[in-house]
Chain A
């Protein structure tokens, strides 16, 4: 696979045509997306016009930008003018927004070419894409397994070589967990770093857009393009984006790396062999985190120590309450955010005898079971008489989480943990909602705190499937996070390419 960096530099130099790049990737999609189902929409015609415009710009001596001619896939909850934006829901099937999301504008202004819209769990609610109304996406490493979610389509598209870059959204881990399961890099930036304007809201106080890429450098490149203040998002941070790519070459010497004890147990079968650097985990360790995953995280910590970082264990006690708090606040916000899908203005309408019946029938037909469950949960959590006990208490846990992270960052520059408690699982294996929700155990705390976090591949676990290590940093600490991620990438054992990406079903996508 060709990286976004290589494509952009070749297209800018005039040694490669954006239209040729695009046809290579369209060919791969044509050949393999029938198996993977990463895309809800492949916008080939618009993409061909955009690529031709990039080539014309190069011919005229103009620089199309740092992503010149790079095909990019957008999660289907990012508004794209005139191109269907469905959130993988019957409710918005065929809906064409009259405007582009700010990130879509930023990517195309930088020369990227939208190649299509990717599948997700309906309204981004899920961890496997099994909740898509249009059928699940399959993991390119094993078509019998999930790609993770909710941004499973974006992760699978990049892993399968359908696009060198994709954007997703992360509310409780929806970028990092699928990146981990698909063996690629995924970043959830600091809340407010990237504009949410044009991202169809799930839980507004958590939602954050970020990139998927095959390597840390490409992810940093895309992050730089989409970061920055946006006056139409009131929660956007009024700070210019730093030079993220400059952070990649910095060594980790002297950086203090803390391994989160609650999320990272001891090495091997409880035996007291903390390894060369770390001691055993003291105190509570959350259940359900697989040993192969823990092992890779501890190896990653060792690798950083070898590279000159100071590594130690750190306790962040509030993370053990994260899941509970998240599953009250996020559904509460969702119950309000999704009220607008009532059949009046856009999307699905099921006629009724009066307005109330139209609302009811539309929502009954338009939303899937998981969405309905979360709307009910959130409505309950906000109800008079229950607000303090549920929503109010969850907000206090959120404060506590921030406080505990702040305490941890007093001693450490970045924190390490697993991204996902397990490698990619089989379809139907986590059908019970609580089992599915536990996929987000390690990722949710960073959404509660609003801090940046990313997943970087580090070896494989059971069935030779990819494992991702999560690197977390304090608010606006993306640079240190990227420095550590780049070091992990250099130290990681080679990851086998997914079988699909090794196939030559295309006209040769450069690799």
Chain B
């Protein structure tokens, strides 16, 4: 996918190069909101996870969530940023889902600044800053089609999300293609997952990406007029929007025109549409939030956060490769946040190659990240010792993910429940002999060297055992009887 996209871009861009900077908002995985003790949780009845602070009731005051600060610092450290004293500002604008009609956000003194991220398969992308801010509530328009504002007769606001902590991570315009942008987001997501800082789901909005896109002639170092594209809720939209926007800009320049700096919306029709131009942009009248004091993390606190950080995806990938995984597999495993699981399972004695294969092919499942390494290791051992077939192991794994992290996710218990018992070898031999007796012509061909007819016998044995026999063991027995 990435390669295709890059090729398409390359073809369209002869003489031009794309310049992209990304602003990524992630919801931090705290129990409570950024400035109140209300649960920071989704899916509950509207307006139940609220306190006077979340509703902006008169007289209410914010108190900064310590955990949110620690997560922000951890992300900053993972992105090689400096952690600096920071100040919260008020960003003033009227909007019904903003309870106070201002957003509390870090402005010119963000908590993290001047870092970088090495993109797998790409270059080093500078991180300008990462800052904390509060999220808004959610408005649903009534009467319009699909909750949209057009034709609506009214609106309902749910403030459950109001005040949940966001970290906005702003890259420098160092990204040179749609593929690199996509890889940057994937790597960032892997880091966030590894840190437990966010569940970082693009589709569900716990990770939101805005792309600042411009183009310039190859060899130029100038930055030309950029457009900010919003509503990118998948990596695919991100890549397509960058390609579309780059082509649009090139088209304008080549026609003797120029793009205007504006905010654009990525639409399901595969195009970007103008939202508003920066010239008409609001004046947010930022000023320091007087209800909060400056945030000055002392060096000890920063070091405690650093010491508590887990191994990051880049290092984990390196260790996976050392266990024999290829770079692509290592990337998939790390991006799913499964590297520690795989490495621990291997350390617990599981066969590295089988473990990697399972992680890549059979663990794109909810709950996979909750598996116990010891349980995964014993599953792989059951398979390599012949107690389970590959098909059975996959089925057991699915059940394990559903039950993780419960103790009931134990693979031998699940195998027993499913009736997967290693076939008695005498029983299997009898079934193989029966299959040979039932298919004398095929047996002659097999003995004459037609290896592919082995499928007839394997199929017969599988049928007789309702799929529970180990296909490799059957093949082995056939060979023994032929060579005997």
Interface residue? B109 (CB, 8 A): no
Interface residue? B142 (CB, 8 A): no
B61 and A340 within 8 A (CB): no
Question: Chain B contacts of A41 at CB under 8 A?
Answer: none
Binds A, one of B232-240, B285-293, B303-311: B285-293
Question: Chain B contacts of A435 at CB under 8 A?
Answer: none
Interface residue? B465 (CB, 8 A): no
A344 and B157 within 8 A (CB): yes
Residue of B nearest to A230 (CB): B61
Complex CA distance for A55 and B34, rounded to whole angstroms: 43
Interface residue? B446 (CB, 8 A): no
CB B26 to nearest CB in A, in angstroms, measures: 24
Pick the residue among B57, B102, B292 that contacts A234 (CB under 8 A).
Answer: B292
Binds B, one of A11-19, A198-206, A306-314, A406-414: A198-206
Binds B, one of A92-100, A129-137, A138-146, A456-464: A92-100
Complex CA distance for A478 and B62, rounded to whole angstroms: 27
Complex CA distance for A196 and B63, rounded to whole angstroms: 13
B59 and A92 within 8 A (CB): no
Interface residue? B46 (CB, 8 A): no
* Interface 0/1 of A69-101, CB less than 8 Å to B: 000000000110000010100001001011101
A201 and B52 within 8 A (CB): no
B290 and A204 within 8 A (CB): yes
Complex CA distance for A204 and B287, rounded to whole angstroms: 12
Question: Chain A contacts of B219 at CB under 8 A?
Answer: none
CB B33 to nearest CB in A, in angstroms, measures: 14
Residue of A nearest to B96 (CB): A344
A382 and B99 within 8 A (CB): no
CB A193 to nearest CB in B, in angstroms, measures: 15
Pick the residue among A203, A234, A384, A391 that contacts B293 (CB under 8 A).
Answer: A234
A97 and B61 within 8 A (CB): no
- 7 additional A-B residue pairs with CB within 8 Å, beyond A200-B58, A233-B63, A333-B287: A92-B58, A201-B58, A204-B290, A234-B64, A235-B290, A359-B94, A383-B285
Question: Chain A contacts of B84 at CB under 8 A?
Answer: none
Contact A199-B59, Cβ < 8 Å, known A336-B92, A359-B94: yes
A340 and B99 within 8 A (CB): yes
Interface residue? B60 (CB, 8 A): yes
Question: Chain B contacts of A99 at CB under 8 A?
Answer: 52, 57, 59
A97 and B285 within 8 A (CB): no
Contact A342-B96, Cβ < 8 Å, known A383-B283, A391-B287: yes
- A sample of 19 inter-chain contacts (CB < 8 A) reads A78-B59, A99-B57, A197-B59, A198-B59, A200-B58, A233-B63, A234-B63, A333-B287, A336-B102, A339-B100, A339-B101, A339-B102, A345-B56, A355-B155, A356-B94, A379-B285, A382-B287, A383-B285, A384-B285
Instruction: Give chain A interface residues in 352-380, CB to chain B under 8 Å.
Output: 355-356, 359, 379
Interface residue? A503 (CB, 8 A): no
Question: Chain A contacts of B283 at CB under 8 A?
Answer: 383-384
B155 and A345 within 8 A (CB): no
Interface residue? B55 (CB, 8 A): yes
Interface residue? A279 (CB, 8 A): no
Question: Chain A contacts of B101 at CB under 8 A?
Answer: 339-340, 342
Question: Chain B contacts of A87 at CB under 8 A?
Answer: 58
B52 and A340 within 8 A (CB): no
Interface centre among A97, A98, A342 (most CB of B within 10 A): A342
Instruction: Give chain B interface residues in 85-114, CB to chain A under 8 Å.
Output: 90, 92, 94, 96, 99-102
Instruction: Give chain B interface residues in 280-319, CB to chain A under 8 Å.
Output: 283, 285-287, 290-293
Question: Chain B contacts of A335 at CB under 8 A?
Answer: 92, 285
Complex CA distance for A209 and B59, rounded to whole angstroms: 12
Interface residue? A166 (CB, 8 A): no
Sort A-B residue pairs by CB-CB distance and give the 6 closest, nearest first: A339-B101, A382-B285, A205-B290, A204-B290, A200-B58, A198-B59
Interface residue? A239 (CB, 8 A): no
Interface centre among B94, B99, B102, B285 (most CB of A within 10 A): B285
Pick the residue among B64, B96, B286, B293 that contacts A355 (CB under 8 A).
Answer: B96
B287 and A101 within 8 A (CB): no
Question: Chain B contacts of A85 at CB under 8 A?
Answer: 58-59
CB A167 to nearest CB in B, in angstroms, measures: 13
Interface residue? A319 (CB, 8 A): no
Residue of B nearest to A100 (CB): B59
Residue of A nearest to B51 (CB): A99
Interface centre among A335, A340, A383, A387 (most CB of B within 10 A): A340
B291 and A204 within 8 A (CB): yes
CB A376 to nearest CB in B, in angstroms, measures: 12
B62 and A336 within 8 A (CB): no
Interface residue total, chain B, C-beta cutoff 8 A: 29
Instruction: Give chain A interface residues in 305-338, CB to chain B under 8 Å.
Output: 332-333, 335-336
Complex CA distance for A263 and B302, rounded to whole angstroms: 48
Contact A98-B62, Cβ < 8 Å, known A204-B291, A336-B285, A340-B101: no
Interface residue? A494 (CB, 8 A): no
Instruction: Give chain B interface residues in 156-210, CB to chain A under 8 Å.
Output: 157
CB B98 to nearest CB in A, in angstroms, measures: 9
CB B58 to nearest CB in A, in angstroms, measures: 4
Complex CA distance for A232 and B61, rounded to whole angstroms: 7
B58 and A197 within 8 A (CB): no
Interface centre among A199, A201, A231 (most CB of B within 10 A): A201
B287 and A332 within 8 A (CB): yes
Residue of A nearest to B35 (CB): A234
Question: Chain B contacts of A97 at CB under 8 A?
Answer: 52, 57-59
Residue of A nearest to B90 (CB): A336
Interface centre among A99, A199, A339, A355 (most CB of B within 10 A): A339
CB B39 to nearest CB in A, in angstroms, measures: 17
Pick the residue among B52, B92, B291 that contacts A98 (CB under 8 A).
Answer: B52
Complex CA distance for A339 and B100, rounded to whole angstroms: 7
Question: Chain B contacts of A332 at CB under 8 A?
Answer: 287
Residue of A nearest to B285 (CB): A382
Question: Chain A contacts of B63 at CB under 8 A?
Answer: 231-234
Instruction: Give chain A interface residues in 420-479, CB to chain B under 8 Å.
Output: none
Interface centre among B94, B99, B292 (most CB of A within 10 A): B94
Question: Chain A contacts of B64 at CB under 8 A?
Answer: 234
Question: Chain A contacts of B52 at CB under 8 A?
Answer: 97-99
Instruction: Give chain B interface residues in 242-287, CB to chain A under 8 Å.
Output: 283, 285-287
Question: Chain B contacts of A233 at CB under 8 A?
Answer: 61, 63
CB B7 to nearest CB in A, in angstroms, measures: 44
Contact A339-B92, Cβ < 8 Å, known A204-B291, A355-B155: yes
* Interface 0/1 of B316-355, CB less than 8 Å to A: 0000000000000000000000000000000000000000
Complex CA distance for A345 and B155, rounded to whole angstroms: 12
B57 and A197 within 8 A (CB): no
Question: Chain A contacts of B58 at CB under 8 A?
Answer: 79, 85, 87, 92, 95, 97, 200-201, 340, 346
Residue of B nearest to A205 (CB): B290
Pick the residue among A196, A235, A340 that contacts B100 (CB under 8 A).
Answer: A340
A336 and B99 within 8 A (CB): no
A197 and B60 within 8 A (CB): yes
CB A379 to nearest CB in B, in angstroms, measures: 7
Instruction: Give chain A interface residues in 231-274, CB to chain B under 8 Å.
Output: 231-235
Residue of B nearest to A87 (CB): B58
Complex CA distance for A336 and B104, rounded to whole angstroms: 11
Complex CA distance for A78 and B58, rounded to whole angstroms: 9
Question: Chain A contacts of B290 at CB under 8 A?
Answer: 203-205, 235, 333
CB B427 to nearest CB in A, in angstroms, measures: 70
B285 and A342 within 8 A (CB): no
CB A332 to nearest CB in B, in angstroms, measures: 6
Contact A340-B92, Cβ < 8 Å, known A234-B61, A234-B62: no
A101 and B59 within 8 A (CB): yes
Question: Chain A contacts of B96 at CB under 8 A?
Answer: 342, 344, 355
